Structure 1
Amino acid sequence: MCLGCGVIRERSKDDLESCVGFLRDVHELAGYPLNWPADARAWLTPPGLLGAWVITTEDGRVAGHVALTAGSDGSALVERLFVDPKATGGGLGRQLLDHAVLMGSELGRRVCLEVADNCHAAIGLYRRAGWREIGRTPIDWGADQASAVLHFEPSS
């Protein structure tokens, strides 16, 4: 259910400051990203970027972000998905996730994602959206916050 459906559009350079601002809030409240990047603006544009989008609220404010990158196996990885904590719970994250899947499908790529096991809200979103966990990889860079990366793909 989308309570306050937003408008998804391609991310512009002008959106980066807003995204970095609420990414800091997401990091402090939810532990994502697990380790704060040295250059958060650059982190939002990962290598192999296929596309990046933002979602805006009814008043035009940027409230969420998602990126899609090329996997080494020809897949499309959903990355950098987050929503401003002031706008969570209304379905914006789900809209962004669905948009990334659609964009990956239009590119003819299998879509998947990875998430640290400390990102409980994100994991819940993926499961509610019908994604299934297909594996786990132990990590040693999560300190006492995370012990594994979970691998997900949409259910058929």
Structure 2
Amino acid sequence: MERVAEIRVRVDADLGVCVELLRDVHDVAGYPVNWPADARKWLTPEDGLGCWVAVSDGRVVGHVALTANGPDGVSVERLFVDPKATRAGIGRQLLDHSVQTAAELGRRLSLEVVDNRGAAERLYRRAGWLETGRTPIDWGGDQASELIHFEAPSSGTSEIRTGQ
């Protein structure tokens, strides 16, 4: 896969841009389903293990965070890409970075996505992530009715899957 962005640790100076980017994603794609009361705080989960940004042509175009999920698990959280930069492979780079980081930590990796995120769900499936279950939600309003749970492939990078 061609690398289209640099993935680096998010620094405090990135937060303002990340909030603006998140607002654009929310307006265009409805993520997150419910806008957080404090977007800056939401982007920095309390149980976070790290936050990273994707930078292309000198500007932040994507974001991902990893959080602790029990004693041996890690969850992908706050994954989003600038609507003007979608379908360029940036989401995949952030996802692969998450897989590699979890492997380096020796922890299994999972994520959850609401059932109205078709593009995100397709990305995860094409990257070899396995659906492990679904849970009904009551906070999605008219937009979403359940969470889809995924587990990462076992290798350090996602595999390419076609025809799904």
TM-score band (shorter)? Answer: over 0.9
Identity of aligned residues (%): 64
Give 1:78 deviation, angstroms: 0.5
- Could you say which residue in structure 1 is the equivalent of 2:161? none
2 CA distance for matches of 1:76 and 1:40?
22
Q: Counterpart of 1:30 in structure 2: which amino acid?
A: A
Q: Runs (4+) of structure 1 moved beyond 2 Å? A: none
Alpha-carbon distance between aligned partners in 2 of 1:139 and 1:87, rounded to the nearest angstrom: 30
Give the equivalent residue in structure 2 for 1:134: 132
What CA distance in whole angstroms lies between the structure 1 residues aligned with 2:102 and 2:126? 20
Task: Give the paired residue count.
Answer: 154
TM-score normalised over the length of structure 1: 0.95
Coordinate RMSD, CA, aligned: 1.1
Note the C-alpha offset of 1:155. 3.2
Helix, strand or coil for the counterpart of 2:106?
Answer: coil
Structure 2 CA distance for aligned equivalents of residues 74 and 47 of structure 1? 17
Per-residue Cα deviation, 1:86-141 (whole angstroms, up to 9, x for no partner)? 11111000000000111111111100101111111111110111111110000011
Specify the alignment match of 1:55 in structure 2.
54
TM-score, normalised to structure 2, is 0.90
AA matched with 1:19: C
The yes-or-no answer on 1:80 pairing with 2:61 is no
Show structure 1 runs of 5+ residues with no match. Answer: none
- Write out aligned runs for 1:1-16 (5 A): 1-2=1-2, 5-16=4-15
Structure 1 residue 73: Cα displacement: 4.6
